Amino acid sequence: RLFHQNHKTFAPLNVSDYEAISRCEREVPEYFNFASDVLDKWSQIEKEQKGPSNPALWWINGKGDETKWSFEELGFLSKKAANVLSGPCGLQRGDRVLVILPRIPEWWLLKVACMRAGVIIIPGTTQLTAQDICYRLLASKAKCIVTTAVLAPAVDSVASKCQFLKTKLIVSENSRVGWLNFTDLL
């Protein structure tokens, strides 16, 4: 698979490639975006069937339920998720979003969407307390938080103290007052 449009490399860079870059023997792109420079290229190769169709994301939970996305599906969904972030959430390039999710497919989807939209992602563990969440929101000046219904009450208890927080996005099958529902918007 092509790794970079200016090189005929068919695999990720190896150690000698990194050494060549550090010696300025290889060109490094001035601007690099994983979503458009890598994921979209793999998606295009998959569309043209130039390579094997391997899943880009294959997630299985403890119950055996699985989600399997091709590169094309992950690319398409990440574009939709980026539109959610820049549309209803009102985020712009350089804005910060605190994402506190368990390792569910939406976690990876939002990471790629943030890369695509130029939004800075601040990952957080689901073990954070309300005080931890408040500290991270204040310190990061995050304009948006994304979490599940389990942590939404903790966020609600501290949201009034966080003057930069404008949007609360919940990943849940159910709606919550004062929150945008990521699943519905997607």
Tell me if 75 sits within 8 A of 45, measured CB to CB.
no
**DSSP letter for each residue of 74-135:** HHHHHHHHHHHHHTTT---TT-EEEEE--SSHHHHHHHHHHHHHTPEEEEE-TT--HHHHHH
Per-residue model confidence (pLDDT) at position 8: 46
Per-residue model confidence (pLDDT) at position 52: 62
Per-residue model confidence (pLDDT) at position 13: 52
Per-residue model confidence (pLDDT) at position 184: 94
Per-residue model confidence (pLDDT) at position 17: 59
pTM of the model: 0.78
CA pair distance 103, 133, nearest whole angstrom:
18
* Structural domains present in the chain: 34-185 (3.40.50.980)
Sign of CA dihedral 116, 118, 119, 125: positive
Per-residue model confidence (pLDDT) at position 2: 45
Per-residue model confidence (pLDDT) at position 56: 87
Per-residue model confidence (pLDDT) at position 30: 75
Letter string b/e over residues 113-139, b meaning 16 or more CB atoms within 10 A of that residue's CB: bbbbbbbbbbebeeebebeebbebbee
Would you give per-residue pLDDT tens digits along the chain (186 residues)? Answer: 344 454 444 445 555 555 665 666 656 667 777 788 778 888 888 788 766 677 888 989 889 889 998 888 999 999 999 999 999 999 999 999 999 999 999 999 999 999 999 999 999 999 999 999 999 999 999 999 999 999 999 999 999 999 999 999 999 999 999 999 999 999
3-state percent helix, strand, coil for the chain, nearest multiple of 5: 40, 15, 45
Residue 86 in tokens: 């820049």
Per-residue model confidence (pLDDT) at position 1: 39
Pairing of strands 66-69, 57-60: antiparallel
Per-residue model confidence (pLDDT) at position 9: 43
